[in-house]
Amino acid sequence: MSNGTRVYENVTRQFNRAAEFMNLEPDVRRILSEPMNEITVNFPAILDDGRVEMFTAYRVQHNNVLGPFKGGLRFHPEVDIDEVRALATWMTWKTALVDLPFGGAKGGIQIDPKQYSAQELERITRRFTFALGNNIGPEFDIPAPDMNTDAQIMAWILDTYLSIIPPQERQRCYHVVTGKPVDLGGSLGRDKATGQGVVYLIERWAEDYGLDLAGSTYFIQGFGNVGSWTARLMKPLGAKLVAVEDASGALVNPDGIDPDDLGEYAAEHRGTADYPKASSADHRTFLSTRADIFIPAALENQITAETAPLLNVRLVAEGANGPTDTDGDRILQERGIHVLPDILCNAGGVIVSYFEWLQNKRSEFWDLEEVDAKLHKKLIRAYERVKQKSEEYATDWRTGAYVIALSRLQSVYRGRGIFP
C-alpha cells in the first residue's frame, strides 16, 4: 500500500468518525465522501541536456460548494492520486472550519525537485500550468505553495497562466495563485503565515491551559516553510527549541537550538545535517524528547500506534497536514496529550492566501500589521469555536473541528438542494 493510500484511509476514517458522531445527513455524507473532480496530466518537459522527460501530476478538486477550489501544490517523488485526494479533502474541512469563501483542492507533481536545476523546474512548472489550462482560474481553482514549492514557483504559474488567457483579462487575474512574491501581487505576511498561525494558537492554548511559554520547551519535525517560521516566531516568546528533524536527520540539544542560527545554516547547507551546535539523534530518540510541545511540520502519518506511546509532551500542535493517524489520536487522547488539529492549527496559510486573493481582487495592498491582526482575529475565533464545541460534545478537538466544518457544509447543501 502506498503512503498516499494510507493517508487517504486516514482522512476517510476521520471523516466517517465525525459523520457518525454528529449524525451527518446520509446524502451530504455521500457527496462529501468523494472528490468532485480529479485531473491527472502527463506532460513533457525539456531537460538541460536536451532530453525530453515525461512527468505525471495531479489536481484534485474535492468540493466547491462554499466557493472556488483552493489548495497548495506539492512537488514530491511519492505524490500519488490518493495523497492528493486526502490533502484536497482536508482543505475542504479547513476552509469550512475557518469560515472562508473557498472549497478544497490540492495538486502534486511526482518529482524529486533536488534532481533538477532551477531552469528545469521552471520549464516543468510552466508546462504543468499549460497542461492544466482552464482547470485552474482566479474564480475557479487557486493554487498556493506547499511542500517543496515556494513564491518563485507561484510566480511561474502566474506568468504562464496570464500568457495563455486573452490580453484584455490579464490585469484582473493576478489572484489565480496565492503565495506569490510581494512584488508580483503577493501579500505581506504570507511567507510566515502558517507558522504565525501555529504560534498564535499555541500562545492562546498556553494561556488557557496554564503553560508559561517563557522557559517552556518544544521540538519540531520539519524545518521548511512551516517549521522554520514557527521556530523563529516561538523564540521571542522565550520558548526553547530542544530538537529538530528534517529530511537529513534529527538534532537534539537540551540547552536549546537557536532557530535563526539554524535557519542560516540550513539555507547554506540545504538542510540541518551536521549542524555543529547540536548532537545528531535517531528518529525514536527524537520522538521521545521530553518537552512541553511537539510540532510536527513535515509529513503525514508520523504519530501512529507505534510512535504515539513515545511522545513525552503536553501538546501536539499540528503544523503539517495529517501528521496523526486515527490510532495515534486514540493513544494521545488516552495519555492526556492535547492536540491542536491540523485543520485549525495550520489554517494560517490559507487564511492569508484569502487575504492575498482579496487584495488582488480589490487592487489593495495591506500592511503587515493589518494582515497579522486579521489573521489573529480569524484564527482565535475558530479556536474558540472548536474549544466550545468540543466541550459541549465532550469530545476531542479534532472531532469538534470536524463537527463545525461539516455542519457548515451540511447547511449549505440543505439550502441549495441537489440539482436537478
- Cite the active site residues: 106
111 and 76 Cβ atoms separated by less than 8 Å: yes
Q: Does 191 bind ligand NAD (CB under 6 A)?
A: no
By CB under 6 A, the count of residues binding ligand NAD is 23
Task: Give me the helix-helix angle, 348-362 and 81-97, nearest 10°.
Answer: 70
Q: Does 110 bind ligand NAD (CB under 6 A)?
A: no
The sign of the CA dihedral 220, 223, 227, 231 is positive
* 320, 343, 375, 405: residue in contact with ligand NAD (rule CB under 6 A): 320
Q: Does 321 bind ligand NAD (CB under 6 A)?
A: yes
* 108, 143, 224, 341: residue in contact with ligand NAD (rule CB under 6 A): 224
Nearest-approach distance from CB 349 to ligand NAD, in angstroms: 3
Q: Does 245 bind ligand NAD (CB under 6 A)?
A: yes
Nearest-approach distance from CB 244 to ligand NAD, in angstroms: 9
SS3 41: strand
The stretch near ligand NAD (CB under 6 A) out of 29-37, 63-71, 139-147, 200-208 is 139-147
Which residue's C-beta sits nearest to ligand NAD?
Answer: 224
Q: Does 147 bind ligand NAD (CB under 6 A)?
A: yes
Q: What is the DSSP string of 276-304?
A: TTSEEE-HHHHHT-B-SEEEE-S-SS-B-
Q: Does 247 bind ligand NAD (CB under 6 A)?
A: yes
Angle at 156 between CA 262 and CA 145, to 5 degrees: 45
Region of residue 382 (phi > 0: left; psi between -120 and 50: alpha; otherwise: beta)? alpha
| 315-317 and 279-281 strand pairing | unpaired
Greatest distance between any 2 Cα atoms in the chain: 65
The stretch near ligand NAD (CB under 6 A) out of 30-38, 41-49, 219-227, 256-264 is 219-227
237 and 230 Cβ atoms separated by less than 8 Å: no
The stretch near ligand NAD (CB under 6 A) out of 29-37, 292-300, 332-340, 377-385 is 292-300
Nearest-approach distance from CB 342 to ligand NAD, in angstroms: 7
Q: Does 111 bind ligand NAD (CB under 6 A)?
A: no
* 11, 299, 337, 404: residue in contact with ligand NAD (rule CB under 6 A): 299
C-alpha cell at 122: 521552471
Neighbours of 36 (CB within 10 A): 18
Q: Which residue has the cell 524528547?
A: 289
Alpha helices in 49-189 (DSSP H): 81-97, 118-132, 151-163
* 95, 221, 359, 399: residue in contact with ligand NAD (rule CB under 6 A): 221
The stretch near ligand NAD (CB under 6 A) out of 2-10, 15-23, 127-135, 225-233 is 225-233
The stretch near ligand NAD (CB under 6 A) out of 25-33, 133-141, 313-321, 360-368 is 313-321
Q: Does 95 bind ligand NAD (CB under 6 A)?
A: no
89 and 119 Cβ atoms separated by less than 8 Å: no
Residues binding ligand NAD (CB under 6 A): 145-148, 194, 221-227, 245-247, 297-299, 319-321, 346, 349
